[in-house]
Amino acid sequence: MTAPANPEKVRRKPLVLGNWKMNGDVAASEQLLSGLLRGDRELPDALAGVEAGVCPPYPYIGLAAARLAGSRFGWGAQNVAHFEDGAYTGEVSATMLRDLACTWVLVGHSERRALFDETDAQLSAKVEFAHRAGLIPVVCVGESRSEREALMTEQVLAAQIDGLCAALTSTNEQFVIAYEPVWAIGTGLTASPEQAQQVHAFIRSRLAAGRVPGAAGVRILYGGSVKPSNAQALFGQPDVDGGLVGGASLVAEDFLSICRAAALRSIR
Ligand code: 13P
């Protein structure tokens, strides 16, 4: 991949991923998956042009794979081991996820960075194993409320991106970035479309500065209280290529409506 001469002309297919986090059970997952399939059957045109998928908890990935196979929706995982295979009790490897036909894997979600102390070295290993297995890592970055208030947003994001640049540039494999301001996750507070655009443009420039090949073509998703009511305005921004959706992805209608908002981006 080489950087295009005119980055404005690069087309990035909108992408919406649902992060179910540690929610649901078999029955609720079945219900949610059938809701998504129904939405696709009823309004296929409204979803044309958007790529979409769900990241269920590990035990339900197989169920998602069985139900969603052959549909518009793909599936992925919320985490992956930073080891290849072997005696790592409780861990799930990238090759196992690929075996379940996962397309994406989230790497470095703020909940994992904060609650499980994930380090840049571990995240880099996750990116590398994901790539080796043929998965697309969705690398999550974002600042806390106090960091934003201290005007440190760009500094924090630069450090998070720079920490992973080596892993991201080691191959020409695809990856996605998700900007998830920690203060907007599960709080009902959302970055304004202008705030999101400003940060997304910064992330793109930082990738380019880190010599990430094809930075203009990398999809950068916004996450943090994305809802049907704010999705269209967020996805209307030039560098907001879709969303990583938490709470609203647990309600089929809401998730479908967010996917439809992203699809509008592809016909602008
Ligand atoms: P919410 O959409 O619930 O704010 O969660 C965002 C998120 O963390 C997605 O990964």
Ligand 1 centroid–CA 189 distance in Å is: 11
How far is the C-alpha of 80 from the C-alpha of 95, rounded, in Å? 10
- Confirm whether 22 is domain-assigned: yes
Domain with 114, as residue range(s), is 15-244
In a domain, 264, yes or no: no
| Number of domains comprising the chain | 1
| Greater pLDDT, 193 or 9 | 193
In a domain, 180, yes or no: yes
Instruction: Please compute the mean of the pLDDT values over residues 151-166 and round it to a whole number.
Output: 93
| pLDDT surpassing 70 at residue 8 | no
CA of 244 to the centre of ligand 1 (A): 7
SS3 (DSSP) at 22: coil
Q: Could you confirm whether 82 is annotated as catalytic?
A: no
CA distances from 13 to 85, 179, 257, 266 (A): 33, 17, 17, 7
79-83, 127-131, 194-198, 214-218: the lowest-pLDDT one: 214-218
| Active-site position among 51, 82, 109, 143 | 109
Domain of 48, CATH number, reads 3.20.20.70
The span from the CA of 211 to the CA of 229, in Å, is: 36
Residue 87: inside a domain:
yes
Q: Which atom of ligand 1 is nearest to the CA of 227?
A: 2
Residue 220: its H or E element:
strand 219-222
Among the listed ranges 148-152, 196-200, 263-267, which one has the minimum average pLDDT value?
A: 263-267
In a domain, 249, yes or no: no
Give the mean pLDDT of 62-68: 98
Residue 44 CA to residue 32 CA, distance in Å, equals 17
- Assess whether the C-beta atom of 224 lies below 6 angstroms from ligand 1: yes
Average pLDDT, the chain: 93
Query: Is 251 exposed, middle or buried, given 0-12, 13-18 or 19+ CB atoms closer than 10 A?
Result: middle
Give the phi and the psi of residue 248 in degrees, each rounded to 5: -70, -15
- pLDDT category at 172 given cuts 50, 70, 90 is confident
Is 253 a member of any domain?
no
- Ligand 1 in reach of 245 Cβ (< 6 A): yes
Residue 6 Cα to ligand 1 midpoint, Å, equals 33
Distances (CA, A) of 230 to 4, 6, 35, 214, 244: 31, 30, 21, 29, 13
The pLDDT-based confidence of 112 (bands split at 50, 70, 90) is: very high
Active site residue 149: no
